[in-house]
Amino acid sequence: MSLPAFAADMTLGARAHRVAAVAAEFADRVDRDGRFPREAADAMKAERLLGIQIPTAFGGESASIQDIAEVCSILGQACAASAMVFAMHQIKVSSLVEHGSESEWHKDFMRELASRQLLVASATTEAGIGGNMRNSICAIEIDGGTCRLTKDATVISYGAHADAIMVTSRSSEKAAPSDQVMTVFKRGQYTIDKTVDWDTLGMRGTCSDGFLFKGEAPAVQIFPKPFAEIAAQSMLATSHLWWSSVWYGIAADAVQRAQSFVRAAARKSNGAVPPGATRLAEASNLLQLLKANIVAGLKTYADAKADPDQLSSMAFSIAMNNVKLASSETILVIINQAMIICGIMGYKNGTPYSVGRHLRDAHSAQLMISNDRILGNTSTMLLVQKPDTSLIG
């Protein structure tokens, strides 16, 4: 896919908006057919968005966590599935950036990813572990310079469309379930056989089918750091922050549709305040709270990145958990308000005010790492961790 001749603005925001325009054009069809947003993914590659997080030394753009959050939001306002694919890809890239610099192979892979705009998927869930990605049943087998792995992965989002998959497992056959490693497998080094179809209420275009994964690759593709460190120091924060940024984008678009509906109603009533105006003000208030929550979380993570001990602390985990909990619950209230404002025109599909897809997509937020599981983890940490009561950190 080539860029149009007039696409002279190569700032990150402009590129993201061009991809969003493509994603928006196909969003309803992607949702209706439950298909991968191929057009948007191709546009991401054409605009070279997939490698923006890679350091400039390896051919990327050294994009910050705030930069990526903004792209997630822009795409979320156009197509939730496209935005979530981008966010999940960047979450895996964050592990590569933060924990791959000690390995020559992983540095070379960063160069390849940036050059070829590879799309990276994740296989952290597994049949029999109940959604707990910090435990594995499968174990990687190392035979000389080769590693082999078979995993019954209940979910690999866009797995059939990825150029590489990062897979978690026990570090050896004798290792404990929590003694995990993560390995990069490139297309051609693995096979995936579908075991579970992704036919869902929302986020249909992420195509998060289940697969039986079988891979064989050079053992140097195993990350040198334990997965526990990778999860605590990069995946925890990036997952909660970038997912929340996607959800903010979904909610923001719903509020914009509600605002357009109220404005149209005001014009028809000769400037009289329409009944939905008060609800619009309430939704705008909640949207601002949601934004402030995410922005504060992004700053907390940016500040903590300079201190590995802080990244692994209970206080940091609680802060990131709270961002995810608040975001995933608030968006449902906001979008529901938008639907009430727009009435039947918001409830119907195919109108300029339709928000049914937004609401269905938003319901996934409380399930992507179950809020009940997160609340349980947070409550355990709060037994020993004093709450942060400061206003400015």
pLDDT, mean over the chain: 95
Average pLDDT over residues 5-30: 90
User: What's the pTM value of the predicted model, to 2 decimals?
Assistant: 0.96
Q: Is 143 among the domain residues? A: yes
Residue 271 has what pLDDT? 74
Structural domain for 163, as ranges: 121-221
Q: Which of 118, 148, 168 is the last residue of a domain?
A: 118
Residue 273 has what pLDDT? 87
Q: Is 388 among the domain residues? A: no
Q: Hey, how many other C-beta atoms are within 10 angstroms of the C-beta on 279?
A: 17
* Domain CATH for 160: 2.40.110.10
* Residue reference for tokens 């860029």: 3
Q: Are residues 212 and 243 in the same domain?
A: no
Q: Are residues 179 and 320 in the same domain?
A: no
Q: Are residues 249 and 377 in the same domain?
A: yes
Q: Give the pLDDT band of residue 352 (cuts 50, 70, 90).
A: very high
Give yes or no for residue 214 having a pLDDT over 60: yes
Main-chain dihedrals φ then ψ at residue 215, nearest 5 degrees:
-135, 150
Q: Using the CB atoms, write b or e for 145-167: b if 16+ within 10 Å.
A: eebebebbbbbbbbbeebbbbbb
Q: Is 392 among the domain residues? A: no
Give yes or no for residue 21 having a pLDDT over 90: yes
Q: Give the pLDDT band of residue 308 (cuts 50, 70, 90).
A: confident
Q: Are residues 48 and 110 in the same domain?
A: yes
Q: Is 391 among the domain residues? A: no
Residue 270 has what pLDDT? 82
Residue 393 has what pLDDT? 64
Give yes or no for residue 223 having a pLDDT over 90: yes
Residue 187 Cα to chain centre, angstroms: 21
* Domain CATH for 355: 1.20.140.10
Q: Give the pLDDT band of residue 191 (cuts 50, 70, 90).
A: very high
Q: Are residues 237 and 352 in the same domain?
A: yes
Q: Is 267 among the domain residues? A: yes
Give yes or no for residue 3 having a pLDDT over 60: no
The angle that helices 65-76 and 277-304 make with each other, rounded to 10 degrees, is: 150
Name 310's Cβ contacts closer than 8 Å, sequence gap at least 6.
304, 316
Per residue in 127-174, pLDDT tens? Answer: 998 778 999 999 999 999 999 999 999 999 999 999 999 999 999 999
Q: Are residues 105 and 250 in the same domain?
A: no
Residue 374 has what pLDDT? 95
Q: Are residues 67 and 114 in the same domain?
A: yes
Give the DSSP H/E element, type plus range, for residue 320. helix 314-342
The partner residues of 216 in beta bridges, in order of sequence, read 148
Q: Are residues 50 and 113 in the same domain?
A: yes
Q: Are residues 143 and 61 in the same domain?
A: no
Average pLDDT over residues 364-368: 96
Per residue in 39-51, pLDDT tens? Answer: 999 999 999 999 9
Give yes or no for residue 193 having a pLDDT over 60: yes
The least confident of 1-5, 132-136, 225-229, 334-338 is: 1-5
Residue 8 has what pLDDT? 67
Count of structural domains within the chain? 3
Q: Give the pLDDT band of residue 386 (cuts 50, 70, 90).
A: confident
Q: Is 7 among the domain residues? A: no
Q: Which of 77, 103, 118 is the last residue of a domain?
A: 118
Q: Are residues 125 and 264 in the same domain?
A: no
Give yes or no for residue 7 having a pLDDT over 80: no
* Domain CATH for 80: 1.10.540.10
The bridge status of strand 141-143 relative to strand 180-186 is unpaired
Q: Are residues 318 and 371 in the same domain?
A: yes
Per residue in 272-294, pLDDT tens? Answer: 888 899 999 999 999 999 999 99
Q: Is 359 among the domain residues? A: yes
Q: Which of 221, 236, 259 is the last residue of a domain?
A: 221
Q: Give the pLDDT band of residue 5 (cuts 50, 70, 90).
A: very low
Q: Are residues 233 and 374 in the same domain?
A: yes
Q: Is 390 among the domain residues? A: no
Name 76's Cβ contacts closer than 8 Å, sequence gap at least 6.
83, 245, 246, 247, 248, 249, 250, 252, 253
